[in-house]
Structure 1
Amino acid sequence: MKQINLIALLLLCSFTTTIFAQKGKKFDIIAYYTGDDKLINEYEVNKLDQIIFSFCHLKDGKLSVDSPKDSITIKHLVSLKAKNPQLKIILSLGGWGGCEPCSAAFSTAEGRLTFAKSVKEVSNYFKVDGLDLDWEYPAIEGLPGHLYQAADKPNFTELIKILRSTLGKKYELSFAAGGFQKYLDESIDWKAVTPLVNRINIMSYDLVNGYSKVTGHHTPLYSTNPKEESTDRAVTYLLKQGVPADKLVIGGAFYTRTWKNVANINNGLYQAGEHIAGVDFKNFATTYTEANGWKYFWDDKAKAAYWYNEKEKTFATGDDLTSIKAKTEYVKSKKLGGIMFWELPLDSFRDGMVNGIYEVRSK
């Protein structure tokens, strides 16, 4: 009788432990990284779960690390895992201008297999944990002049299938997804692709981009009108498509989009302007000051920050500590898989955006 009670107690303890482990499971903090093997050491790597090395490219249809410098960086990133057992190192293919040959290369079964085999070879050599596909974009226009075709959508599905079968179940497979409606509607077969990937990294930034002649929030959490793109709009759409919440990762922007020649109406928001270079988060404190003519504004409906300089007629939009913390709270409330951001070298070494995310997650 005592033995039965002991077994029952052990089972109860095991069951309770499992429940607590599930409840205590933290979502992932994921950093895209374009820096070298030295810069990474300045950051608090212990607060990250993934570092996505950006970028690798296609060379003769194969995954290619561009230079000896990049090889050194990847090897160093992998070495960080010794002190950070939670850390995974992922290689990213592409980027905004880095996937020009993708549509053609992935248009045949032979081309997709060649790529998948090369990913396995490169991954085994560097001992990395996974691949993030950053093809911008299948089936719709990305960088002007890059090939895109309707067949990209089914070809992307077939690419994911061959990658998964070639690389095995333990390999981390993700892709960077456009956070805007046209991509969500036309680029991906969500029902076919979702079961085969670990996560979908939603680029919920640049929703008003450098091609826009009108200002707006470029990385808002919520839409302020039915036509406005936002993080929540993309998440809601994908959840309705049947994508599990824990496979969705939302994006933060560690930089501003900026326009000049913006009229002093509505503090520059939703006004005509001419896009110019933005500012990295690490330089916000010295750039967006009253002494420099800037005023800070908070859109409570969008949960988004913006700045306006009346004297210079300049408008800026982006995430700040307040908005990135709101996004992190959103991840917790929706039980999403994590938050990623572009990109780590734009952050402060200490007490910056990563720390803001980490603090909210740790609550």
Structure 2
Amino acid sequence: MTRNGSLSVSGAARRRRPKRGKTLWLIVVLGALVALMCASVTVGSRNVDWSDIVAAFGGSVEGFGQAAVAKRIPRTLLAVIAGAALGVSGAVMQGVTRNTLADPGILGVNMGASLAVVTGIASFGLASATSFIWVAIVGAGVTAVFVYAIGSLGRGGATPLKLALAGTATSAALASFISAIVLPRNDIVDGVRSWQIGGVGGGTFDSISQVLPFLAVGFAICLLSARGLDLLSLGDELAAGLGERVAVARASAALGAVVLCGAVTAVTGPIAFVGLIVPHVFRLLVGVDHRWLLPFSALGGAALLTAADVVGRIVARPGQVDVGIVTALIGAPLFIYIVRRQKVHEL
């Protein structure tokens, strides 16, 4: 073989090696997720045996262990799909805004969805999960547009700091509106307060089946937007020069993220920081290519939320700590670290 041929082969090998490494990491993350799902089914206020799991899958629910498994299986599935949706939503929001601080919780999108659901319950008597999901998606979308518009005001446009501040201020205002709506209503106050914390303990096969179609649409839109997000990361002018319709790419990707975030919030309540933590971790691991980053963010988000649910059940036995609290305890210090690392002078 010629020298040029040898160089060509070695160059091709170098290009393939990162792909093999990413595939290996994908298998590792998937294996970790499966292990966490097994732990989620077996660990709780009381651990259960594999015989109870087999019996529960066989349709026999007689003792405590089998009843616990029957309850934990939909709870685990909800944690997986909700975590995956929040991870992908965060990665897409960061790509759309070119803002590494973007997250459905930090940008106020979760809280916008929550306000819409609470308003629907208090004012219009909404009761079905499907109606919650539609209303939450609308609330999330309106809030996303509002925060981006506010963050774009002034010199420099939508800078990471201005978006984070606009989102934080909007979240605080919307939380106050929620309190103002709920406090006079003793008939809904207990249910809304527990839902606002964010958790997967109320997961059922019925609620999962109702939210799955919305999540499938959201995932499809986000995955189809991967190439557009890669081009947007180069800057609007360069992306347009390469033939990308910038406004359409940004709007379609944002729509997918809003659908995922709104649908999950309607079922679990607002859960923050998953969309911030997961994309950051895997961006360091697999790079900025969204064709890889989005699947990794889905698996990583599912693993993080499942792990948070397991930890919440262990640390407070025989009670439990909702995943929204656990993810906040993990995410808040990381958020501060990211801000300090970026040396955001405008503060």
* TM bracket, shorter-chain basis: under 0.3
Length-normalised TM-score, structure 1: 0.26
Whose helix proportion is higher, 1 or 2?
A: 2
Give 1 or 2: higher strand fraction: 1
TM-score (normalised: structure 2): 0.27
